[in-house]
Structure formats: structure tokens, C-alpha cells
Structure 1
Amino acid sequence: MNTRLSSPRTLVIAMAAAGVIGAVGAGAYTSAHALASPAPAVAAATTGPLVTMPDFSTITEREGPAVVNITVTGTMKTSMEGIPGMDPDDPMFQFFRQFRGQMGPRGQQRETPTRGEGSGFIVSPDGIIMTNAHVVKDAKEVTVKLTDRREFRAKVLGSDAKTDIAVLRIDARNLPTVALGSVKNLKVGEWVLAIGSPFGFENTVTAGVVSAKGRSLPDDSYVPFIQTDVAVNPGNSGGPLINTRGEVVGINSQIYTRSGGYQGVSFAIPIDVAVQVKDQIVATGKASHARLGVAVQEVNQAFADSFKLDKPEGALVSNVEKGGPADQAGLRTGDVIRKVDGQPIVSSGDLPAVIGQQKPGTKVTMEIWRQGARQEITAKLGNANDKTTTVASNDDSGGPGGKLGLALRPLQPQEKREAQVDGGLLIEDAGGPAARAGVQAGDVLLAINGTPAKSVEQIREVVAKADKSVALLIQRDGDKIFVPVRIG
């Protein structure tokens, strides 16, 4: 699961009884030298260049003073129905609950004080600070502590939940600032370090390498994350990710964990995205993002086979918002978006990140794949604050089999009105490959391989000609989604 990194200050330290594991972390790497044997039959290996570790102390000394600790206080509403410290399955639970009910109305809520910590960094000498939006969410009071131990009450100038960026201001002058870099120059495998306050331990420095760029996470479709193996933990949220040139290239935001703690996979928001949002917040108090008005899903191998794509890349359009920017541009359900303004769309998560970084009203040129041919479409983007574009995903769960496994019939006029569709076939029963792919009785089959479903005979013909798989566009409970079904 993906976990945000801010947390209360409370720290529980588990001591290992077996002892402490030492020397964990980055060591000095040098190229291997093959020693030449005195025997003439063994040739000496070519000596490679010496690989040295970066001097993290110099970077920390220069950039560290601009990293701050952020303390947040607020309140959380809690129900008074529960009995603190008592298991609901305890036989006495209901007795005490009824007794409490005699003392006041049921369902009553009370406000409980909360406290959390995070990190941030100064980007302007007059007190502008960047951090994560989730660090200061619902905060009633925000306190910023500098490395020289001075503390300031901070004002939240604005925050953007879509990118998880917030901007603060403190009343101070001549403050140290960080140098900002660009993710465009960042390379996978490059050394980076994080400075922050994990578990409240201020000015903690950890280092690692860039594991990947352009990662899309399910809940953060507007951000092409930087993945690293830098150790980050609760409290590191909002702190800088710095390259070996001393430039901030990202904002540490999330970790992927099964235990609740760091497990070697962390994510940072690219500084290019963050600065763009920061500039909007400083100027207007809020950030705006563009939207295309489509729902998309992943193109897997089954879809690639169905649509005759050379490789499983792109964003498959499963629904087009009526009257939205994509609809006005002529984009259709079943189109596969391959590029936006020349930028490749490899996975479906790339599309919202590319579109979301544009300004509303911008015109973009999209390369799409439609009916086995490449086309270009120009769209004028709308505003994401008006309506949020959704992203649907679908895994290939089809199975082998020579038939589709569907019992179909035409929709009755009343059924068409209820489903709000002009055509399609009702799926009365699903079995075989279709059932294994997730198709259910009651779904409405709208299209197969991008062609509108008009008759049972037509579906048989398409399936008979298909090689490995077919792509079914179905509607279920008002939602449309493509389902790949393997038949070969």
C-alpha cells in the first residue's frame, strides 16, 4: 500500500534482542580489478575507472539550513459511542454503552486534539516554504522550526490536493534557501539524499539512488513520481530530495509499505511539478489543472492483440464525457492515446499526469490509434476544478477457450432507456473465457474491438476472425469499461 509520510510525534522503538545489525547502507564502491597472474596464459583484465561516493557532508552543510521542521495541531471528531479500552465483543460492552446512553444523546461526537509533524524547505529569503498538502491538511495551527532553533507561526497560503503540494509563509527575512534543479536532468541510478524529520528526529539525512522516474500511483494520477530507495519515514513528508549537485529535484511524499514503515521504496514529487503549483498558489492562492474529459485504462497484451497494436502501450479510452473537451475534439471510446504533443503515453497513468500539468484552455495534439490506423486529434483542455477526470484500470484475467462464453440478446426499448444507450446487447449469462475475464450477467455489451455491438451474429463473426483475444466494451451500473477476453 502507499502511505503518506507525516505522523504524530509519538515514537515506539523496538529493540532487537538478538543484537544490532551493523554496516547497513551505502558503502564505498570501486571498480573490480582482476589481478594479473604471473602465469603467461592468464591475461590481465582492463582496469576500469574508479567510482567514488559523493560527499554528502558538503551537500548537507550547504542545503541543510534551508530545511525546516513543521509541527501541526488540529482537531479530529470522534464518536462517543465507543468505550475506550474495551473490546466491543466483551459481554459488558453493551451494558456500559447503554449506561453511557443515559448520560447523553447517542451518536454525539466530540473534538479530540491532534498533533502531527512533517518537513519542508525554504525557497525564498522572505519566508516562502514548500511542503506536502497532507502535512497541513485540516491544521488549525502550523509552527515552523528552523535549524537555528527559531520557531515561527506559519500561514498556509494554499494547498493543492491533486499534486499534494502546499505553500507556507513565515514572517522572517534573509533566510537561507535551497537551490532548485530539474527532474529532466535526473538519471536513474543517480545518487540522491533526503533531509527531514522522520519520527520527529530533526535534520536527519539519508541517501540512496533514483530507482525510476515517471511512476504513476493509483491515488495520485496528476504526479509522475520519482521512485528512490532513500530511507524515508513518517515525518519526512514535505522534505527535499537533493541530487549530488546540491539541487532539490523532488519533494518526499509517500512510501510503499506492507509493514507501515520504510521497505526500500519511496516516492517524491518532481520539483518541476511542485514549482509550477507553488507559483500558482503564491499568485492566486490556489492551483488549477487541465482536464481532457475521458476515463482511461491500461493497455495490456490482450488489448494490444485485439486492437492490432504493435506493443501494449498507450491509454485506452473507455468513456468520453459528453460535451467535454475530448468529446468536442472528436475522441471516441475505443481510441488508444499514444502521444500528447509528441510526448509518449506508455501507461494509462501517464495521460492524467501530462494533461494535469497543462493550463486550462491549452490546445494539445494527440496521436491516437483508431480502427487499426494512426490519427491526430487536437483538443482544447478544460479545467479540472470543474469536473475531475477519472482513471479506470483493468488487469488481464481472461483465460483460454475457443468461444466467448456469452449468452446475448438485443435490448428492449425500455431497457435502452433505463441504460441510457442507443444500442448494445444484454448479457444474459456469462461463462468460459468471458466469465474468467470478469464479465457478468446483466452487463450491457456496447462494442467489440471498437465496433458497436449490433447483433449476436455480428459478435460471432468478430470472434471467429479474432486471433488471440477480443476487447469488449461493457456497461455496468452506468459505468463503461473495456474487458480483454482471451479466446485463443
Structure 2
Amino acid sequence: MSSKSTLIKSSTAVAGLVVLGLLAAPAFNAATSLPVEAKSSTALSPMAYAPSSFAPLVEKVRGAVVSVQVRREASDSGLSRREFYFDFPDLPGTPFDEFFKRFKRAPGSKSPHRKKRRGVAQGSGFIISADGYIVTNNHVVKGGDDITVTLDNGKKLKANTIGVDKKTDLALLKVKNGHTLPYVEFSDTEAKVGDWVVAVGNPFGLGGTVTVGVVSARGRDIGQGSYDDFLQIDAPINKGNSGGPTFNLNGKVVGINTAIFSRTGGSVGIGFAIPASQAREIITDLKQHGGVTRGWLGVAIQKVTEDIAESLNLDDDHGVLVSQVTGGSPADKAGLRTGDVILDVDGRNVRGPRDLARKIAAIRPGVEAKMSILRSGSTRELTVKIGTLSDSGGKAPATDGGQSSSTGFGLQLQPATDGKGGVMVAGVDDGSQAEEKHIAKGDRILEINNDKVNNIDDFDAAVAKAKKDGKRAILMLIQRGKTNRFVGLSLSKDGK
């Protein structure tokens, strides 16, 4: 067996981690527990040391923990071991690309089209209100068109996706029950390193599994995105625990289990949970708006290294160095310049690029933020009116579990930061028409229907105009490297 660690996300192997609850786990027939009545959220008395038994805590919270089963289409290429591929990645949209798509399979293959089959993924979740709102991970429900939630008493309920946030891997579901449901609450206090924690979830389809451990570390960056701020826990969690809660000894949720580090695919005592302090605000946005609105500054930044700090006569290496300012952005309008060092935001020190990204994202668009910057050896104050960052989570249609992005074409967009205009493709959803047309991360969208696109508002306005004019498709001019090409995208294919 290879000694390398793996990251399995949407069935994709990447080095480092195992994201939980993505693969269909075997189902086991377990004894059905008695119905659980809704309990109040009265906290248990804090305990400085491990209790003689965790049973009272588990009895209190387990009724609010659910198993999540997601049915979705899975691709089956039907390849034999003798089949092979030609790989010419730089030919999308060309006759050669079409040629190799048609003839990339071995002689005798019946069809170049992938077969579609139904797959089932399992994960965990927890109820946060008596009327049936449920928190889980986005990767648990991603691409799902049929979501079933199993309560602790064995009752099965259909769930709808209210909203998802891909950037933090969170999703909010809703079930209809007709009766009040037991629920739990997020903790108002930060979990500390060394605190006891109890994880409850559905590993490998074994619902109601309880494990115990401690908070091993805080603020972990596991390379999943700009907003990584994970708790590290040693309570054993496995595939199927994704989206499940980690509780403190008061029965409050301190984290949402999301990933593990493993060389075997099973728990080795290194798990990662989204902290409650981050999840609470995201879930509130999803519940109220179906999506998440984040603040936007409009700068490219880099870490202040020890050498850079020394060259700038900084006492330490906190802060971030501005390497580029987007024209017309909030930063540009506030007078921020290339070479400035952002030291703090609203009186809070900036520890690095990810810390600044989280701080700015947490500020509501339209709110003015105070920034301390270092410029030419002098400290000065700037006031910045925060803008809106385009977010790909958006409100998820009930039929696709949050797979579509805010564009409706499977495109995730972000402003161009190099001053060359257009908007940048930050990501492309699997199976979307954008993927079918070979649009890729890093492409620059310059025009829509011959109208220049200089920002995301221009993009949205051009699409809205095309719809208003009764057009069935839009024509986009896309730049990749030094090459431009046109791509047509249907306005109806994604149901928009």
C-alpha cells in the first residue's frame, strides 16, 4: 500500500487529507432508537476535568444529530484496462480537440459517451431549530437531487437545500416534519486548545456514533481556500462524519466536522472542524438570503516575510504587502497604493493574507472600514468603503443541491486584479455547460454580445440585457493567454 496521504473530494484524489462523507458508505441495519422529544438548550454545568461518563451529554444532544443520504448521478466511463487516452490539453474548441474526443478510446469501444448511473453518498448533519433547519457540509450535498435525512429515532424525512457556501464548505437544509424537532445551538465561546470535545455522526453509515477527544490546535490552514480557519481535533472521525457536530461539555456545537488527515483513509487522530464562530454567521446568511455576501477590497497582496519586514523597517512581520490595486475598486478609491503595507483593519492586527481575506469578507458591503497602513516609512490611516465580492454559492435550486453558481452557467467569477479589464474565471462547476465549452479557471471574459465586460456588474448586466431582449444564448469573448476565442452559452440550459 502506498504511504502517501490522500484527499478525496468529489471523488478526486489530492495529496494530504480525506474529506469526509463523500463516498457511498455501506448501510448497516441497526436497532432503531426510541423517539426523541425536543429538549431545551439548557447548558450542562461546565466541568474542568473529564466526566466519569459522557452519557448524559450524549443523551442530551444525540436527538439533534442526523444522517444525510444524497442520491446523485455519477459518471461511469466504462473503460477497459486496454483503453487509452490522448492528452492534448491546449486544444479546447479546435478541430484537433474534437478529433481526439472522438477517437481517444480504443478500437472496438461501443460509445464515447459516458454512462450515467445513480450513486448514494452519506454524511452527517445537525438540527439547529425546532422547525427543521439542518447544517451539513456543501460537499455532502453537492450535485445531489434527492436528499433524505434520517433522525435519531429512525424516521426519514426529505430535505431541501436552502443555500450553500462553497468557500467554507457549508450547506443549510430544511425538512418538514409537522412537529417540533430536537435541536442544538452553536457555542458562543471559542473552543480552546485542550478542551474536551464529543463528535457525533454517521461514519460509514453507522448513525449515532459517538467519539471523544480534545481540541488539538486552532486556526489550521489545510489548503482548501482563502477562509481556512479549522479546529484540529483528535476525536476519531471518518468518512460519513462530514457535516456532523463536535460538541463541548455544555452540549453546544463548537465545530462542524469536515476533513481528516490520513495515510490510510481512516482516522489517525487528526481531524478538522469548521469553528462555530465562522459557521454561525455563514448559516445566518444562508437562512436569511440563500447565499453569502462578503466584503471586497480589490487588492492583490502577499505575506510580509522577515526580509521584507527588515527592508521596510518593521518591528515584526505582521501585516500584508499590497502588490497590486484593482482600478476602480474600493481600495483604489480610498487611495491604497502598490507597495503599501496594511497593518490593521478597524484596530485589529492583520496577521497575513488569509487573515486579511477573512477580516474583509466579514465586513458588510457599504460599511466603512478604518485601515492603518505603512507607506514610505510612515504610518497613516485610510477609510475604505467596502465593496461586494461575487460569491458562487448563491441560492441553490431545490433540484441540484447547490451545484449551480451565481452566473447560472457553472462559472465562478472574480474581479480581474491586473488592470487589464474583463472578469476572471475562478472556477468551473463539474458537468456544467461552461465545462462542456472548455472554459477553464484563469480564463478572462472580455465581452458579452460585443459589449465590454470590465467587472462582475457588467457581466450580470449583459446577461440580464440578453434575457430581456429575448435572446436564447450569449456570445462571450474569452481570452486565454494571448489567444482570444468566442464561446456561446445557452440562457436556458441551466434553467435560468
Q: What range describes the TM-score normalised by the shorter chain of this pair?
A: 0.5 to 0.7
The RMSD of aligned alpha carbons is 2.9
Q: Does 1:322 align with 2:337?
A: no
Q: Are the aligned partners of 1:217 and 1:349 in contact in 2 as well (CA < 8 Å)? A: no
Q: Which residue in the other structure is 1:356 paired with?
A: 361
Q: Which residue in the other structure is 2:381 paired with?
A: 376
Deviations 1:114-168 (A, max 9, x none): 2211110001111110111111011011010011000011111111111211111
Q: Are the aligned partners of 2:304 and 2:320 in contact in 1 as well (CA < 8 Å)? A: yes
Question: Using a 3 Å threshold, how does the CA distance of structure 1 residues 178 and 151 change in structure 2: closer, same or farther?
Answer: same
| Distance apart, 1:95 and its partner CA | 12
| Distance apart, 1:264 and its partner CA | 3.0
Q: Does 1:142 align with 2:151?
A: no
Deviations 1:165-211 (A, max 9, x none): 111111112110013212x4322221112111122221111222222
Q: Are the aligned partners of 1:7 and 1:199 in contact in 2 as well (CA < 8 Å)? A: no
Q: Are the aligned partners of 2:65 and 2:208 in contact in 1 as well (CA < 8 Å)? A: yes
Give 3-state SS (helix, strand or coil) of 1:180's partner.
Answer: coil
Give 3-state SS (helix, strand or coil) of 2:220's partner.
Answer: strand
Question: Using a 3 Å threshold, how does the CA distance of structure 1 residues 167 and 376 change in structure 2: closer, same or farther?
Answer: same
Give 3-state SS (helix, strand or coil) of 2:106's partner.
Answer: helix
Q: What runs of 5+ residues in structure 2 fail to find an aligned partner?
A: 1-15, 28-46, 86-102, 392-412, 421-480, 483-496
Q: What runs of 5+ residues in structure 1 fail to find an aligned partner?
A: 13-49, 392-417, 421-476, 479-488
Q: Are the aligned partners of 1:181 and 1:248 in contact in 2 as well (CA < 8 Å)? A: yes
Question: What is the aligned length?
Answer: 348
Q: Which residue in the other structure is 1:482 paired with?
A: none
Q: Does 1:70 align with 2:68?
A: yes
| Distance apart, 1:384 and its partner CA | 1.3
Question: Using a 3 Å threshold, how does the CA distance of structure 1 residues 288 and 339 change in structure 2: closer, same or farther?
Answer: same
State the AA in 2 paired with 1:73.
R
Question: Using a 3 Å threshold, how does the CA distance of structure 1 residues 271 and 203 change in structure 2: closer, same or farther?
Answer: same
TM-score normalised per structure 2 = 0.65
CA distance in 2, matches of 1:133, 1:51: 35
Percent identity of paired positions between Structure 1 and Structure 2: 38
Q: Are the aligned partners of 1:307 and 1:372 in contact in 2 as well (CA < 8 Å)? A: yes
| Distance apart, 1:258 and its partner CA | 4.2
Q: Which residue in the other structure is 2:180 paired with?
A: 174
Give 3-state SS (helix, strand or coil) of 2:360's partner.
Answer: helix
Q: Which residue in the other structure is 1:52 paired with?
A: 49
State the AA in 2 paired with 1:3.
V
CA distance in 1, matches of 2:49, 2:379: 48
State the AA in 1 paired with 2:184.
V
| Distance apart, 1:97 and its partner CA | 2.3
Give 3-state SS (helix, strand or coil) of 2:281's partner.
Answer: helix
Deviations 1:317-342 (A, max 9, x none): 22222211111112222222221112
CA distance in 2, matches of 1:124, 1:210: 26
CA distance in 2, matches of 1:205, 1:220: 29
Q: Which residue in the other structure is 1:124 paired with?
A: 129
Give 3-state SS (helix, strand or coil) of 2:148's partner.
Answer: strand
CA distance in 2, matches of 1:95, 1:52: 62
State the AA in 2 paired with 1:52.
Y
State the AA in 1 paired with 2:108.
F
TM-score normalised per structure 1 = 0.66
| Distance apart, 1:72 and its partner CA | 0.6
Give 3-state SS (helix, strand or coil) of 1:332's partner.
Answer: coil
Indicate the structure whose relative CO is greater, using CA pairs within 8 Å and at least 6 residues apart. 2
Greater mean deviation of Cα atoms: 257-266 or 124-133: 257-266
Q: Which residue in the other structure is 1:233 paired with?
A: 238
Give 3-state SS (helix, strand or coil) of 2:237's partner.
Answer: coil
Q: Which residue in the other structure is 1:463 paired with?
A: none
Deviations 1:213-254 (A, max 9, x none): 233343321242222222222111111111111111121112
CA distance in 1, matches of 2:132, 2:366: 32
Which structure 1 residue ranges, 4+ long, deviate > 6 Å from structure 2? none
